[in-house]
């Protein structure tokens, strides 16, 4: 005999008060006598009462945060999603995930529609899009939105992301400090702002050292593209140092170099970016740039929440989470051939 879940009225009846009073207890209004409050709370536990989200969001604001992501099965988005969810749980919010079917404008619009229809209180977008806000404008003027993106491009939307440029600079400088005359770069896709920022960081570190930047190889974030780039690089006799824009591509580079008989780190040093959990067990263990994406996700939620609770809060400048070099065995001093 499964009864329907108890409502605020059932609680009120049991406690012998009005529904409004129960609501006040729920929302911790100050003007409720201690006696009444305890009557109500004990009635709630007795019935196993649970506030109904739908009713709440119908009347007032919802407590749903939408996460708009390109693909939550990838490492970056899923780590960020985890952080958002954890922070949301702490704040009493829930998280709805919507993945993009593609990055076409139509798909983005459809995904936004889904979120708006849910009446989300805020949105965290984890997208490879240029932050021109053009595409996200249907969202923009409806709910507080934050873009998880580690670029410093001016943007109509608040940005929260990792310090890609700084991390890439650290990685590059690390290699230069080890005595390498230059550093090759396997970059990510041009349409990902994070990839562009890493490339910028790499280039600026080389410039600061007075070294001319070699041509960039572009990959697609995955191991296969790293492997291809690695095969090209392996043909270059003068090659001694490579910085890959993420760990998966670094892994591909490692494999390609090994197959060509180039020893890492003896002949060539390789550095990645991300510090995925596997990186410490690559062969050799990968020197990389750790980015705390869970923390980034938390910060995203924080930013969205302040904009929800205080609609007119000044838009924060881009929030940047530092990224730090983790030195492992894949990078070592330059040795003369």
Partner DNA sequence: GGATGTGTTGTGATCGATAACAACAGTGCG
Partner DNA sequence: CGCACTGTTGTTATCGATCACAACACATCC
Give the binding site for DNA (CB under 7 A).
Answer: 4-5, 7-9, 16-21, 23-24, 26-27, 30-33, 35-36, 49-52, 55-56, 58-60
Start-to-end Cα distance in the chain: 81
Tell me, residue by residue from 142 to 181, as one string, x for binding to a second copy by CB under 8 A and - for no binding.
Answer: x---------------------------------------
Q: Choose among a second copy, DNA, none what residue 85 binds, the Cβ cut-off being 5 to 8 Å by kind.
A: a second copy
Closest CA to 263 of 326, 185, 334, 182: 334
292 binds a second copy (CB under 8 A): no
Q: How far apart are CB 8 and DNA at their closest, in Å? A: 3
For residue 228, how far is the Cα from the chain centroid? 27
Q: How far apart are CA 330 and CA 263, in angstroms?
A: 10
Q: How far apart are CA 133 and CA 125, in angstroms?
A: 11
Q: Convert 152-192 into a string of H (helix), E (strand) and C (coil).
A: CCCCCCCEEEECHHHHHHHHHHHHHHCCCCCCEEEECCCCC
Of 2 and 235, CB closest to DNA: 2
33 binds a second copy (CB under 8 A): no
Of 28 and 312, CB closest to DNA: 28
Of 172 and 331, CB closest to a second copy: 331
Q: Choose among DNA, a second copy, none what residue 313 binds, the Cβ cut-off being 5 to 8 Å by kind.
A: none
Q: How far apart are CB 30 and DNA at their closest, in Å? A: 6
Of 27 and 104, CB closest to DNA: 27
Q: How far apart are CA 213 and CA 289, in angstroms?
A: 20
Q: How far apart are CA 250 and CA 171, in angstroms?
A: 13
Alpha-carbon radius of gyration of the chain: 25
Q: How far apart are CB 21 and DNA at their closest, in Å? A: 4
Of 13 and 334, CB closest to DNA: 13
26 binds a second copy (CB under 8 A): no
Q: Choose among a second copy, DNA, none what residue 17 binds, the Cβ cut-off being 5 to 8 Å by kind.
A: DNA
Q: What are phi and psi of 134, to 5 degrees?
A: -60, -50
251 binds a second copy (CB under 8 A): yes
Closest CA to 175 of 290, 337, 287, 336: 287
Contact 162, 206 (CB under 8 A): no
Q: How far apart are CB 294 and a second copy at their closest, in Å? A: 7
The residue range among 39-47, 48-56, 181-189, 196-204 that interacts with a second copy, by the rule CB under 8 A, is 48-56
Of 64 and 171, CB closest to a second copy: 64
Q: Where are the alpha helices (DSSP H) in the chain?
A: 8-15, 19-26, 34-47, 53-59, 75-91, 105-118, 137-140, 164-177, 193-208, 223-234, 247-259, 293-309
79 binds a second copy (CB under 8 A): yes
DSSP letters of 261-312?
T--TTTT-EEE-SB--GGGGGSSSPPBEEE--HHHHHHHHHHHHHHHHHSTT
258 binds a second copy (CB under 8 A): yes
- Count of residues that bind a second copy according to CB under 8 A: 56
Q: Choose among a second copy, DNA, none what residue 72 binds, the Cβ cut-off being 5 to 8 Å by kind.
A: a second copy
Tell me which residues touch a second copy (CB under 8 A): 2, 5, 50-55, 57-58, 62, 64, 71-73, 78-79, 81-82, 85-86, 89, 94-99, 101, 113-114, 116-119, 141-142, 222-224, 226-227, 248, 251-252, 254-255, 258, 277-278, 280-283, 285, 294
């Amino acid at each position: 005999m499964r009864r329907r879940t108890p409502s605020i009225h059932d609680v009120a009846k049991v406690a012998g008060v009005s529904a409004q009073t129960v609501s006040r207890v729920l929302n911790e209004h100050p003007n409720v006598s201690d006696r009444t409050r305890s009557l109500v709370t004990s009635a709630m536990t007795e019935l196993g009462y649970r506030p109904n989200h739908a009713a709440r969001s119908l009347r007032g604001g919802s407590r749903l945060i939408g996460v708009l992501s390109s693909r939550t099965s990838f490492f970056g988005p899923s780590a960020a999603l985890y952080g958002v969810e954890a922070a949301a749980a702490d704040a009493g919010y829930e998280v709805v995930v919507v993945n993009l079917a593609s990055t076409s404008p139509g798909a983005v619009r459809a995904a936004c529609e889904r979120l708006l229809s849910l009446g989300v209180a805020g949105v965290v977008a984890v997208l490879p899009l240029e932050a021109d806000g053009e595409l996200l404008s249907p969202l923009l003027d409806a709910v507080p939105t934050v873009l998880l993106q580690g670029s410093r491009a001016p943007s109509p939307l608040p940005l929260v992301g990792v310090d890609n440029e700084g991390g890439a600079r650290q990685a590059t400088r690390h290699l230069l400090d080890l005595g390498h005359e230059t550093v090759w770069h396997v970059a990510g896709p041009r349409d990902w702002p994070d990839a562009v920022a890493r490339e910028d960081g790499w280039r600026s570190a080389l410039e600061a050292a007075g070294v001319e930047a070699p041509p960039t190889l572009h990959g697609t974030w995955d191991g296969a593209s790293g492997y291809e780039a690695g095969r090209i690089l392996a043909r270059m006799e003068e090659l001694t140092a490579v910085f890959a824009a993420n760990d998966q591509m670094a892994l591909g580079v490692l494999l390609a170099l090994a197959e060509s008989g180039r020893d890492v780190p003896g002949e060539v040093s390789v550095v990645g970016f991300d510090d995925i959990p596997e990186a410490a067990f690559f062969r050799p263990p990968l020197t990389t740039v750790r980015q705390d994406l869970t923390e980034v996700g938390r910060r995203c939620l924080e930013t969205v929440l302040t904009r929800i609770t205080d609609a007119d809060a000044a838009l924060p400048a881009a929030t940047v989470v530092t990224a730090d070099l983790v030195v492992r065995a894949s990078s070592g001093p330059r040795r003369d051939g």
